[in-house]
């Protein structure tokens, strides 16, 4: 039986824009994606105008210099209206790669932040820590959430981990200080992010206990950390939240991206245990596992559900049966619906 990665390899270059869009979506949060896959999808997006939407789903390896160069070269090949998508991708790379391309990004990063990037590349441990404290102050003082500043803060956090300027004990102290409070501060969000970077699986239980918090930024960082772990321990810690109305979406997303038989089996079990209005997220998670094992539950959902405001049933159903090369009487109907859209 083909596994998830083999199926991606098999269908990545098929001349089918719907399958490629599905693949771009399913790879977005998957941490073990090959650099070549993202390069192929990027090339498809710039060579075929009907595939431009692929750019919105691409998540780059921040150290992939070859892809960074492809993005820069692609700027000259596409319409000005989508240049911002290229810039967003470039800003995901390491400070070293961003500084190499300062001329291209000059109008998108202010002088203050260029100085931060230089410190991250060349500065001492004390200088990097100073910038980290400064960005925390900046984030906490803003009247509204500044996504660009937060992404820059994650760059600084990434550097702290990469250069071994922060220890697991320090992260646990930061995390525990926030966990005791009603609301996390930005140093708490970044602690969770760094716990993921450092592979701190010993904190799985503590992180899972926060999945019912009403804090999307915290939940996104926990999900990213958990998916990075690629561990069945995470599946066991998270599966109970599949039945929770508030936590169901994040729990399904986490287990969706842990590619194991155990993850698939827990999704299948939960599908039969939850209320019907929660089954859609589990259906989507099972589809993204690309496993024949979940076919009975997937067929069951499609038999009783024609449309949903939350998930793209046509794309999910068409892609699942097409990639797994299984027969379904509605295959052409789903494809026609996608074309009409």
Q: Which residue has the tokens 């070269």?
A: 73
According to the model, what pLDDT value does residue 77 have?
A: 87
Instruction: State both tokens at 323.
Output: 């990639």
User: In 10 A of CB 96, how many CB atoms?
Assistant: 14
- The residue with tokens 């100073």 is 130
Specify the pLDDT at position 315: 97
With beta carbons less than 8 A apart as the criterion, state whether 207 and 195 touch: yes
Q: Name the DSSP letter for residue 79.
A: -
Alpha carbon separation from 197 to 168, 214, 237, 274, 333 (Å, rounded): 11, 24, 19, 33, 43
Q: What is the pLDDT of residue 245?
A: 93
Name which of 276, 217, 212 is nearest 247 in CA terms. Answer: 212
Tens digit of pLDDT at every position of the chain (341 positions): 468 999 999 999 998 999 999 999 999 999 999 999 999 999 999 999 889 999 999 999 999 999 999 999 998 888 888 989 999 999 999 999 999 999 999 888 989 999 999 999 999 999 999 999 999 999 999 999 999 999 999 999 999 999 999 999 999 999 999 999 999 999 999 999 999 999 999 999 999 999 999 999 999 999 999 999 999 999 999 999 999 999 999 999 999 999 999 999 999 999 999 999 999 999 999 999 999 999 999 999 999 988 888 899 999 999 999 999 999 999 999 999 999 98
Provide DSSP, 128-156: HHHHHHHHHHHHHH-SS--HHHHHHHHHH
Q: What pTM does this model have? A: 0.94
pLDDT at position 278: 95
Q: Which helix (H) or strand (E) holds 268?
A: helix 261-273
């Amino acid at each position: 039986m083909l596994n998830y990665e083999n199926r991606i390899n098999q269908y990545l270059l098929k001349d089918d824009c719907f399958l490629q869009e599905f693949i771009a979506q399913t790879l977005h949060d998957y941490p073990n994606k090959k650099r070549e896959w993202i390069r192929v999808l990027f090339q498809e997006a710039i060579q075929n105008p009907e595939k431009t939407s692929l750019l919105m789903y691409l998540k780059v390896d921040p150290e992939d210099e070859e892809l960074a160069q492809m993005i820069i070269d692609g700027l000259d090949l596409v319409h000005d209206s989508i240049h911002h998508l290229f810039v967003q991708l470039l800003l995901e790379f390491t400070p070293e790669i961003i500084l190499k391309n300062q001329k291209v990004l000059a109008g998108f990063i202010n002088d203050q932040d260029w100085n931060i990037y230089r410190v991250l590349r060349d500065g001492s441990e004390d200088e990097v820590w100073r910038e980290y404290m400064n960005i925390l102050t900046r984030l906490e003082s803003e009247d509204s959430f500044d996504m660009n500043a937060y992404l820059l803060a994650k760059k600084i956090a990434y550097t702290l981990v990469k250069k071994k300027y922060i220890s697991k004990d320090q992260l646990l102290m930061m995390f525990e200080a926030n966990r005791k409070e009603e609301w996390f501060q930005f140093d708490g969000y970044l602690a969770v992010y760094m716990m993921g970077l450092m592979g701190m699986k010993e904190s799985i239980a503590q992180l899972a206990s926060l999945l019912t918090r009403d804090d999307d930024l915290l939940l996104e960082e926990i999900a990213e950390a958990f998916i990075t772990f690629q561990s069945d321990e995470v599946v066991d810690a998270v599966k109970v939240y599949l039945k929770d109305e508030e936590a169901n979406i994040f729990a399904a997303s986490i287990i969706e991206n842990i590619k194991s038989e155990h993850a698939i089996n827990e999704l299948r079990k939960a599908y039969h245990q939850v209320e019907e209005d929660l089954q859609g997220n589990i259906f989507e998670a099972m589809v993204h596992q690309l496993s024949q094992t979940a076919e009975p539950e997937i067929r069951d959902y499609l038999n009783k559900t024609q449309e949903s405001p939350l998930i793209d049933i046509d794309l999910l159903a068409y892609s699942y049966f097409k990639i797994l090369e299984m027969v379904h009487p509605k295959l052409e109907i789903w494809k026609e619906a996608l074309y009409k859209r």
